[in-house]
Each structure stands twice: as structure tokens, then as C-alpha cells.
Chains A and B, each alone.
Chain A
Amino acid sequence: MSMVEVSVALADMYIDELPRITRRCRRAGLRVTQQLPEVGIIIGTVDSTNIEKLARIEGVASVEQSRSLGVPPPESEVQ
């Protein structure tokens, strides 16, 4: 069991069905933290072994684990 943060993209055809797809994702083990209607994305945490299950849900186009991004510390000359 290791919980990871994921972003779930709705397929274009399902973009207006965010609540329904969100329910399906919850049933597949996703703990939903955010729903982004403008871009058709659901964000949440899930057991890493359940990522495949999420990706197979009808209406889901892709699932990706969150990456960390950043900028160098303030004192750097190159940022």
C-alpha cells in the first residue's frame, strides 16, 4: 500500500460529465481532492496498485502520477 497523488484526465467526449466520472473514480479507490471543470481534470490520491484500474474507467483518457516541479533557491544567479 502506497498512496500517490494522481491527475485524471477526462476524455473529450466526457468533458461535461465530471460528476459522473468522479463517482466512478471514487468507486475505483480515488480519494478526490480537486475537480477542475474548465480543463476536465480530477485530482486525488490513490493506492499505486489501483492506477491501472482508474485508467480503465470509461470516460477516463489518461492517469498520471503527480511530479514535483520547482525553481532554484532565491540566491541563485540562474533561476
Chain B
Amino acid sequence: MAASRRRADKGKGASNGDGMSDGPVPIGRGATTGKYLVLLRQDDLENGVQALGSALGVKVARSAEFERHAVDADALESADALVFDNLAVAVVNAPPEQFQALGASIAGDGPILAVEAERVVYALAANGHSAVLEPPTLLPIAAPPLEAPAHGASLTSYLLGYQDGVNELIERLMEQEGLKAETLAAAAALDESQLTWGLQATNVARSSFTGRGVRVAVLDTGMDLGHPDFVGRSITSRSFITGEAVQDGHGHGTHCIGTACGPRQPGQLPRYGVASGADIYVGKVLSNRGSGGDSGILAGINWAISNGCAVVSMSLGAPTEVGQAFSRIFETVARRALAAGTLIIAAAGNESRRQQGIIAPVGHPANCPSIMAVGAVDANGQIANFSCGGLNNQGGQVDIAGPGVAVRSSWPRPTLYRSISGTSMATPHVAGIAALFAEANPDMRGGALGWLLLQASRRLEMPNRDVGVGLVQAPV
């Protein structure tokens, strides 16, 4: 709710302007009905309704007055102003000049957030295109005829024509590909003097959120609890490895925690951490040699849930075969975690060798439907050579991609910082950003939090087999 309110605030200026435009726009693209939609503050609805009524001098009807809020067409047509109580939106039938009076109320912390002209909407026609919208731009292809013409042109000239068509298509696609790669590289400017490329490409640098108050569990090889970049941070830890303390004797865990939760101002630039305000939960489920078992990971997940962690980051896994089913145990646990408000995010795996034409399927446990599987891209927006692909259906998909090549983050003392690659590095980018979304949307946890990540991701010109919905993006 908080985020939608913020978004509404931001859009206020523009919407307000629209609201003041003259009368209905003629039918066509962007046609309006002559009515106005007024967005009211949900937690101050009564004052909003009052302000609306007195500013416009109209009687305001309420959907709450109708049984089950079922407002009928007549009421909608006849009322000057009708408030949908459960949406905190009013539909107002008044001439544009009356909205001038309303303008003053749409400032600061007033109960009215925005005014927009109501648009005319149409049902989609059978071909999937709305009757008034121009047809979408189709693939720029000089389509060759599917069958050789029966008469006239010879087979040779037909084939030559076909060849031309294919060549043109290839040229255009290659041109596009180059452009897209360039655009992303530009966005993720390779200047890492202040910020790692990963924080730039995922928009973390521009986010106003830090994950404050959100608990993030990283299940890994532990953490260097004395790393100078984490002095004063809220850290809760527990080892699930018999005979080993939480202290990270490997480095992998410290690196992943650095990406997910590293500070805004590290001892040495560039900044590399996403959720600098999050509470860190270190679950050591992999030994100092980097190995562990299902049982420790399940115990770690259980611990994260009982501590109210909104996000669990798991940069670990075991390879799978094509056709292999996901673990029913992990799927059950992940489903129960979602129900308890905990989103599990896991690395897709590093078993591909794409330069040799080998794509390996998403590993265990990222291949469970209720676990978010993360693939890795590089600074040019290209899929990482090692990143696993969605070869198995039923959960075996890659869901989203994160920065996973040449990722700088924290490393146990005395090294302090190191750049490495892997879907293990992409995963904590997504987990950290999940914490930002969790702070921005306190009501959205579990599956709803995952949905926010997927919705916001930046679509890439690459197969969803490799990058899922695209590159994770932070809320601004």
C-alpha cells in the first residue's frame, strides 16, 4: 500500500494536468468519457469524500451504500460523484472547470491524491487487437511466401527471393541485437569507481529504499563476522554444520551477504551491497569446504521462517538431469514458507558451457516451482556462459536474472574484497532487491513479494529459458 501511495504522489502532477484538459477527447487513441477519476487516500477516506463534495458542490454517493458494493449501471450514470469505498476511487461527473476548485486540495498531505480523465476502453477484438488501437508492430520481416508459386516464376527465382528475405531478416535481427546489447551496457556504465556494475544495472543506486526493518536470511558458508564493512549492523547467526562456527572459512557466504546486504558506504569504493538497512540472518548450512546436505538447508529455512525473515537467499545447489523431477520435500517446504510470508530465492546453477553449446538444466532446489530461480547475466546484458537454462518444465524454469559475472563484493579478512562470477552472485542481487520491495510494501510477503520482483524486472531480448522475465530492478 505504501508504494502505491508513493507512486500516486509522484504521478500527481501529470495526472492533475490531464484532469484539467478540456472535455472529452474524441474517440480514437486515448479517448476520454468526460468523467473524472479521483484517487483518494485510503487511510483518510472520510476526509477525502468530504473534500470532494465541498469542492465540487455535489452529493457524493458511496458504493458502501449498495449491497456487497455492487454498484449498478444506473447509479453509475446518474450520480454526480460515486465513491468506490474499497478502492478509494471516486468517479465524478462534473465539468472540467469545477475541478479547478479541487486543484487546491491536491497538494501536500491532503486526502485527494490525483485526478485523471476517465478513458474509453474497448473489449479486445477476436484477433487480439483492440478495435481502436493501431496493430502492434510485427517482427520486421519481409515474409517470403510459404509455398512456391504454382505458376509463372521458376523455382530458382523463388529460392533467390526466399534467400533475400532470410538475409534481410538476419541483418535486421543482428542490428537489433547489437543495439540492445549496447543500450544495456550503456545503462550499466562500466565505470565502477562508485558503484559496481550490478548495482547500476539493477537501479539499486537510484532506489530510496534500504530494506530497513526487513530480515534477510542468507543460507551459505557463514560470514566473516568481523568484516569492517559490517560493524554495527544487526546480525543474527546460527550454524547448522556440526562442529563448525558461523565464521566463514570459505568466502562464498561473506561474498553473497555482501551483495544482498552490504553497506551504502563501504570502507573501500565501489559500493557493492543492495539492502544496506536490512537485518542480516546468517545461516551456515555449507561447511568451510563449501559442502552441505538437504537436512541442514531445510533446518536453515525453518530457522529463517521462525525468525520472520521475509527473504531467504540460497546460492547453493546440486546439478540435475534433463527430465528429472523437482524435490517434493523442498517444494512442500517452499510452499509452506510462502504461506508463512517467506520468499525463497535460489541460484539456477553454473553447469552450462554455452560457448561449447551445452546448456544444463536448473539445479536442485531452484527447480522447485515455489522457489524463485535466478540466472546470471554479464555487464553487456548477455547470458553468462555457465548459467543454467530452463530445460525442465514444472518448476525447472529460470524465473529472473541478476548480475552474475565479475561481481565485486566482500570477502573474509584480510582480503576484504573480491570479484567472482556465478549464479551464486546473481541470487543475492535478487534477494537484496526483494528486501527493498519488502520495505516499500509492508503488506506484500511470500508470493506477493515475488510477484513484485517479476513485474518490475527489465525485459531482455533473450530467451526466457535463460533469463526468465528479465533483469531484476529495484523499486525507486
A-side residues, CB < 8 A to B, are 5, 7, 9, 15, 33-34, 36-41, 43, 61-62, 64, 66-74, 76-79
Shortest B272–chain A CB gap in Å is: 15
Which residue of the partner chain B has the closest CB to A45?
A: B295
A38-B305, A76-B420, A79-B252 in contact; A68/B298 too (CB < 8 A)? Answer: no
Shortest B331–chain A CB gap in Å is: 9
Whether A66 contacts B293 by the Cβ 8 Å rule is: yes
B297 CB–A CB distance under 8 Å: yes
A5-B294, A39-B305, A71-B315 provided; 6 other pairs, C-beta below 8 A? Answer: A15-B336, A64-B328, A69-B316, A79-B252, A79-B350, A79-B424
A77-B420, A79-B424 in contact; A71/B252 too (CB < 8 A)? Answer: yes
CB contacts (< 8 Å) of A74 on chain B: these are 250-252, 290
B263 CB–A CB distance under 8 Å: no
Shortest B336–chain A CB gap in Å is: 5
CB contacts (< 8 Å) of A34 on chain B: these are 295, 299
Considering the complex, which residues of chain B in the window 411-431 have a beta carbon less than 8 Å from any beta carbon of chain A? Answer: 420-422, 424-425
A39-B336, A71-B250, A72-B290 in contact; A5/B295 too (CB < 8 A)? Answer: yes
CB contacts (< 8 Å) of A69 on chain B: these are 286, 291-294, 297, 316-318, 364
B-side residues, CB < 8 A to A, are 220-221, 250-252, 255, 286, 289-295, 297-299, 301-302, 305-306, 315-318, 327-329, 332-333, 336-337, 340, 350, 364, 386, 420-422, 424-425
Q: How far is the CA of A67 from the CA of B333 in the complex (A)?
A: 16
CB contacts (< 8 Å) of B332 on chain A: these are 9, 39-41, 61-62
CB contacts (< 8 Å) of B316 on chain A: these are 69-71
CB contacts (< 8 Å) of B297 on chain A: these are 69
Which residue of the partner chain A has the closest CB to B363?
A: A69
Q: How far is the CA of A37 from the CA of B305 in the complex (A)?
A: 10
Whether A9 contacts B328 by the Cβ 8 Å rule is: yes
Shortest B427–chain A CB gap in Å is: 11
CB contacts (< 8 Å) of A36 on chain B: these are 298-299, 302
Whether B299 contacts A68 by the Cβ 8 Å rule is: no
Which residue of the partner chain A has the closest CB to B301?
A: A39
22 contacts between A and B (CB under 8 A): A9-B329, A9-B333, A33-B295, A34-B295, A34-B299, A36-B302, A39-B302, A39-B337, A40-B333, A62-B332, A64-B327, A64-B329, A67-B364, A68-B318, A70-B289, A70-B318, A71-B221, A71-B424, A74-B252, A76-B420, A77-B421, A78-B386
Q: How far is the CA of A7 from the CA of B294 in the complex (A)?
A: 8
Shortest A26–chain B CB gap in Å is: 17
Whether A7 contacts B421 by the Cβ 8 Å rule is: no
CB contacts (< 8 Å) of A71 on chain B: these are 220-221, 250, 252, 286, 290-291, 315-316, 424
CB contacts (< 8 Å) of B298 on chain A: these are 7, 36, 39, 41, 43
Whether A67 contacts B318 by the Cβ 8 Å rule is: yes
Q: How far is the CA of A69 from the CA of B425 in the complex (A)?
A: 17
CB contacts (< 8 Å) of B291 on chain A: these are 68-71
Shortest A77–chain B CB gap in Å is: 6
CB contacts (< 8 Å) of B289 on chain A: these are 70, 73
Q: How far is the CA of A51 from the CA of B421 in the complex (A)?
A: 39
CB contacts (< 8 Å) of B250 on chain A: these are 71, 74
